[in-house]
A and B are shown apart, each in its own frame.
Chain A
Amino acid sequence: MDSWNRSNRGSRLRFDGRDQSKPGGRRSGQRPKTVEIKIDNFSFGPMTLTVSPGTTVTWINNDDVPHTVVSEDTTTFKSKALDTGDKFSYTFAKPGKYPYFCSVHPKMMAEIVVQ
């Protein structure tokens, strides 16, 4: 097991676009469209993130080494090297599973689920 991922192993976050503060749910124009993933200690957090189609995911690198965010197929999305504090965003239009990794430290793997 990757020990630097241990703290995040199995962590999952469901992001369904509902505004929890308003009972009755989602209203057009109020749906949050951005979710952040933090890169800390050679790990993406959360490792599995579920979002609704159209959501923009933003990664921010909090480590003091550069990381990248690259889809496993290396073509769907691919960031430049992110230095400390740098961000990368991608909008997931279509439902599906999107495994990705850091191409500098390829043991760092995570997944976005769009449904």
Chain B
Amino acid sequence: MSDVTRDQIKGLHGDFSFVQISDSHIGFNKAANPDVTATLREAIAKVNALPTPPSLVLHTGDLTQLSKPDEFDILSESLKSLKTDTIFFVPGEHDVLNDNGAEFRARFGKGTQGDGWYSFDQRGIHFIGLVNVLNLRAGRLGYLGPDQLAWLKNDLAHLKSSTPIIVLAHIPLWAVYPQWGWGTDDSAEALSYLKRFGSVTVLNGHIHQTMAKVEGNITFHTACSTAFPQPQPGQADSPGPMKVPAEQLRGLLGITDVNFVRHKHTLAVVDSSLA
């Protein structure tokens, strides 16, 4: 069977969808949300209520507040009720606090490369999970590092330019607001490897609010948190957890549903709140 025929057969499986959830911060118990486990469970219920069950779920980091084993345990237990085939993770800075991510990788990063990066293919889409929360340097932003960049370049080398690409990373790979650390030092290098592809979608977390940007062939998107909102860039003294009236909280938390429409070769990204 030729590669072309094989691709066509794969294509016949049709459209598919997946879900992004982010920033669950299990263990956080301050005023901005005293029960983050409850809101995570509401997010899971929201996913389970989708008309089409997602083929996979992507968690874009900050699973926990303090990288504690019992926090990871609660997260894993909660996610068991998700109706999906597979869950993929990338770490946030809260998941790698005291051990450079060893505990995170032991639980969620089996089979990954280097400090936890990886790629896989699903329904003709190439997914890439990047780690940009380790070895952060004074005064700087998120960081991928030369080893990961070299791996990424090599990982993409064998792909056809028509392959749809989805990149996950916790901290945004575009300069959302560098003054608050909302960006990645060496993301431009990574994005330069992606320029030749027709469809690239970058999914990030970290900033606890949805934001989107299109730059050439690359669409950037950040997801809501399942735990607590953060202020819009520059709209507060610091990017810390934002306390809102209790009745407004769930309107600012949410999930992201991504639908891949194959014949149009496009991704439809839909954010929906927990309210």
Contacts and interface: CB of A to CB of B under 8 A. Distances in A.
A106 B240 contact: no
B151 interface: no
Given A1-B179, A3-B234, A99-B138, A66 B240 contact: no
Contact residues on B (Cβ < 8 Å of other chain), bracket: 20 to 34
Nearest to B138: A101
Contacts of A2: 179-180
A57 interface: no
A42 B238 contact: yes
Contacts of B136: 103-104, 106
B59 interface: no
A104 B93 contact: yes
Contacts, number: 69
A105 B237 CA distance: 15
B238 A4 contact: yes
B141 to A, nearest CB: 8
B181 A105 contact: yes
Nearest to B182: A107
Contacts of A100: 138
B97 A104 contact: yes
A110 to B, nearest CB: 10
A106 B140 contact: yes
A80 B98 contact: yes
A113 B66 CA distance: 31
Interface string B114-144: 0000000000000000000000111111000
Interface string B59-72: 00000011100000
A79 B212 CA distance: 36
Contacts of B32: 64
Interface residues of A, number: 28
B239 interface: yes
B234 to A, nearest CB: 6
Contacts of A66: 65-66, 94, 97
Given A81-B66, A106-B138, A107-B179, A63 B98 contact: no
Given A43-B238, A63-B240, A109-B139, A3 B97 contact: no
A84 interface: yes
Interface in B229-272: 234, 237-241
Contacts of A80: 97-98
Contacts of B213: none
Interface in A64-111: 64-66, 68, 72, 80-81, 83-84, 99-101, 103-107, 109
Nearest to A80: B98
A63 B30 CA distance: 10
Contacts of A68: 97
Greatest chain B CB density within 10 A among A6, A7, A64, A83 is at A64
Given A81-B66, A83-B66, A107 B180 contact: yes
A41 interface: yes
B239 A42 contact: yes
B31 interface: yes
A63 B240 CA distance: 8
Which 5 interchain pairs have the tightest Cβ spacing? Answer: A4-B238, A81-B97, A42-B238, A101-B138, A64-B30
20 contacts: A2-B179, A3-B179, A3-B234, A4-B237, A4-B238, A7-B237, A41-B240, A64-B28, A64-B30, A64-B31, A64-B32, A64-B240, A68-B97, A80-B98, A99-B138, A103-B136, A105-B93, A106-B141, A107-B141, A107-B179
